[in-house]
Chain A
Amino acid sequence: MNTHSISHPPAKGHGAKQQQALQDPNWVRWSLIAIALGFITLFICLPLGLVIYQALSKGIEAYWTALTQADTLAAIRLTLLVAIVTVPLNTLFGITAAWAITRFEFKGKSFLTTLIDLPFSVSPVISGFIFVLLFGAEGWFGKLLATYDIKIIFSAPGIILATLFVTFPFVARQLIPLMQEMGHQEEEAALSLGASGWKTFYSVTLPNIKWALLYGVLLCNARAMGEFGAVSVVSGHIRGLTNTLPLNVEVNYNDYDVVGAFASASILAGLAIVTLVLKTLLEWKQTSR
């Protein structure tokens, strides 16, 4: 990251006063850095370090045992399943929505864009609750589902639906501003050279949006694997069956199984760190283009 404040030429004579007005005094500079770093250390570095510390507090062996418990393994499997279903669906949606919104003019376009962002502003608990209202035992389709013996709430489909809702906007939100800014000239050039719509998308649009797309997928995946509130409402917390990793963290924590809770938490923290590393790499890729 470039800062403009460091590259000023040395000040001289009359310029010195102007230079003072352009640069923060050293004491301000250092105290601001200290405040910022202190704040970030307290609120971000410390919690991150603590996950690892707590997970290993009873030794590596206890950690490993906690990780390989049947319930934890089941939670990992369910979490992966949820991500495998929701991320591709929302990616596909994100691409089509971004194409429709950025490549055409139509009435209600900005309204549609706002609607796509809607799930971000809904409390996670409500995001789960609405699916209980739809598919719960007392819900709209509760009776119907019961007669066919289909379980949605308190089972994987409910968890997947709630996660779909929560992670709905991630990909679209990354792509829309980028594709807006890109304009359509390159695509028009491809079309004028005889390329079909698919070919144009595949060989001209996609290469230009791929990093932003990956970025969106990454964030979508992190949220899909880590969502707690919405999933907690629809899951029923059945150990070994409907607990995702975040729910497993909660269940263990409430049972005073600190190592168990932090063992699961450490996987999620690892996921978060991987996400951040990839995210930083992708940001570099995007800006270096």
Chain B
Amino acid sequence: MSIILSDISKNFGSFAALHNINLEVPEGELVALLGPSGCGKTTLLRIIAGLEHTDQGSVIINGENKTSQNVSQRGIGFVFQHYALFRHMTVFENVAFGLRVKPRHTRPSNEIIKKKVHALLDLVQLDWLHDRYPDQLSGGQRQRIALARALAVEPSVLLLDEPFGALDASVRKDLRLWLRNLHHDLNVTSIFVTHDQEEAMEVASQVVVLNHGHIEQQGSPSEIYDNPTNAFVSRFIGQTNVFDLDEHDNEWLRNVGIINANSTGRIAHVRPHDILIEKSESHQDATATLKDWQHLGALIRLELVKNDHHASKSLFAEMPKEQFKALALKIGDVVKLKIRHAHWFH
């Protein structure tokens, strides 16, 4: 089901947590709400769920205006950041809860509830834990139970608040992939909150970047990465080297090819992998010195300093390991830079 948010604003006292949010999520998408801490992600998600009232604007789910509808009638599935499993119920009862509280005439029979819950537990691959209590589960297991519980009511939309926030790195990686596959199978419109850009890029089909309570950009992961519409998005998504024309030597910028015929604006952002490096023998045309380098798995990150009198900030470049080996660079070597591509902002 599609979700349309129009003109949503929310204040806490005098603090504007969200202003004029407009967002359209087509049916079946898996959308990531991405932004720095405190930017209003949770608040927006809770407004969609009906756990928070808006000051202004409307929430339309599948063409129906749900703005003033109670959370218990909205038919959404919400997965809480810290899971909020019912501590006094077994895993089975947790998942069954949404079915058991249905009004009598729509409530499935015990038989059906049982079948359905076990099916869901199978889906999250945890049926063998059905008679445990939440505090006997690991974080990752709790997370999957919370998801199964939300799915039990066959929600029209699924909302997840930092679903992997409390888990350690390796479990996160596994669950990301798992969530992606699950979404692929179920195809229920989903929004999940994260402040981890890598997670957003990896899992989501659409990314919405939020900052200070408003949307900075919305698009597919590659759109956002390749064509950030402003400096915030560019800096927030992936690593970026920032060059300010007011601070830098324009001559140097022109030399390395950042400034060229079609450059517009005052600030240039350059992705590390858009910096090409050649070894340089003569100090004449050399543009930077290798200060340090680090292994990032298959990539090598090079830390470079400019060869001009202003001992300025380091810049970072990345290249495949093999290429680095072939160049046979050592710390202190001087190199020639060539910038393949830059984003310009004002």
By a beta-carbon cutoff of 8 Å, the part of chain A in contact with chain B is: 185-186, 188-196, 199, 203-204, 207-208, 289
Q: Which residues of B contact A199 (CB under 8 A)?
A: 101
Q: A199-B101, A289-B87 are in contact. List 19 more A-B contacts (CB 8 A).
A: A185-B82, A185-B84, A186-B85, A188-B71, A190-B97, A191-B51, A192-B49, A192-B50, A192-B51, A192-B150, A193-B97, A193-B101, A193-B150, A194-B72, A194-B153, A195-B97, A207-B86, A207-B88, A208-B87
Q: A192 contacts which chain B residues (CB < 8 A)? A: 49-51, 71-72, 74, 76-78, 150
CB distance from B55 to the nearest CB of A (A): 15
Q: Contact string, B54-97, partner A, CB cutoff 8 A, digits 1/0?
A: 00000000000000001111111110101011111000000001
Q: Are B88 and A208 in contact (CB under 8 A)?
A: yes
A194 CA to B49 CA, complexed, in Å: 12
Q: Closest residue to A189 on the B side, CB-wise? A: B84
| Closest B residue, CB atoms, query A196 | B72
- Of B50, B76, B80, the contact of A185 (CB 8 Å cutoff): B80
Give the residues in chain B near A195, CB-CB below 8 Å: 72, 97-98, 101
Q: Which residues of B does A touch, CB under 8 Å?
A: 49-51, 70-78, 80, 82, 84-88, 97-98, 101-102, 149-150, 152-153
Chain A proximity of B60: nearest CB distance (Å): 18
Bound complex: CA A199 to CA B86 (Å): 14
Identify the 8 closest CB pairs spanning chains A and B, nearest first.
Answer: A193-B98, A185-B84, A195-B101, A192-B78, A207-B88, A189-B84, A191-B71, A191-B72
CA A191 – CA B46 in complex, angstroms?
12
Chain A's nearest CB lies how many Å from the CB of B177? 25
Residues of B within 8 A of A203 (CB): 97, 101
A194 in contact with B75 given A185-B82, A188-B51, A188-B80 (CB within 8 Å): yes
A190 in contact with B51 (CB, 8 Å): no
Decide: A193 and B88 in contact? CB cutoff 8 A. no
Q: Report chain A residues within 8 Å CB of B76.
A: 192
Query: 5 pairs across A/B with beta carbons < 8 Å?
Result: A188-B51, A190-B101, A192-B76, A192-B77, A207-B86
Kindly state the separation between the CA atoms of A193 and B89 in the bound complex, as whole angstroms. 15
Q: Whole-angstrom distance from the CB of A200 to the nearest CB of chain B? A: 8
A190 to B86, Cβ gap below 8 A? yes
CA distance A186 to B150 in the complex (A): 13
Q: Cβ of A191: which chain B residues have Cβ within 8 Å of it?
A: 51, 70-72
Q: How distant is A201 from chain B, measured CB to nearest CB, in Å?
A: 12
A194 smallest CB distance to B (angstroms): 5
Report chain B residues within 8 Å CB of A207: 86, 88
Tell me the minimal C-beta distance from B94 to chain A in angstroms: 9
B interface: dominant SS: loop
Q: A190-B97, A193-B101, A193-B150 are in contact. Are A204 and B86 (CB under 8 A)?
A: yes
Which B residues are in CB contact (< 8 Å) with A208? 87-88
Name the distance in Å between A16's Cβ and chain B's nearest Cβ: 39
A208 CA / B84 CA spacing, docked (Å): 13
Given A192-B76, A194-B101, A186 contacting B71 (CB threshold 8 A): no
Q: State the Cβ distance, B80 to closest chain A Cβ, in Å.
A: 6
A96–B74 alpha-carbon span in the complex (Å): 27
Q: Which of B74, B78, B84, B102 has the most CB of A within 10 A?
A: B84
> Closest approach, in angstroms, between the C-beta of B64 and any C-beta of chain A?
16
- For B85, the chain A residues whose CB sits under 8 A away are 186, 189
Q: How far is the CB of B143 from chain A (nearest CB, A)?
A: 13
Q: Which residues of B contact A188 (CB under 8 A)?
A: 51, 71, 78, 80, 84
Q: Whole-angstrom distance between the alpha carbons of A189 and B147 in the complex?
A: 11
Residue from B50, B98, B149 with most neighbouring chain A CB atoms (10 Å): B98
Give the distance in Å from the alpha carbon of A204 to the alpha carbon of B70 in the complex: 18
Assembled-state Cα–Cα distance A208/B98 (Å): 18
User: Which chain A residues border B51 with CB–CB below 8 Å?
Assistant: 188, 191-192
- Expressed in whole angstroms, the Cα–Cα distance for A203 and B150 within the complex equals 17
Beta-carbon nearest neighbor of A207 in chain B: B88
**Cα of A185 to Cα of B84 in the assembled complex, Å:** 6
CA distance A194 to B78 in the complex (A): 11
Contact of A186 with B84 in the complex, beta carbons under 8 Å: yes
Which A residues lie within 8 Å of B75 (CB)? 194
Give complex CA distance A191, B72 in Å: 5
Residue of A nearest to B71 (CB): A191
Q: Which listed residue (A193, A196, A289) contacts B149, Cβ 8 A?
A: A193
Pairwise interchain contact B87-A193, C-beta atoms closer than 8 A: no
Residues of B within 8 A of A204 (CB): 86
- In the bound complex, residues from chain B placing their C-beta under 8 Å from that of A190 are 86, 97, 101
Q: Which residues of A contact B84 (CB under 8 A)?
A: 185-186, 188-189
Nearest neighbor of A199 in chain B, beta-carbon distance = B101
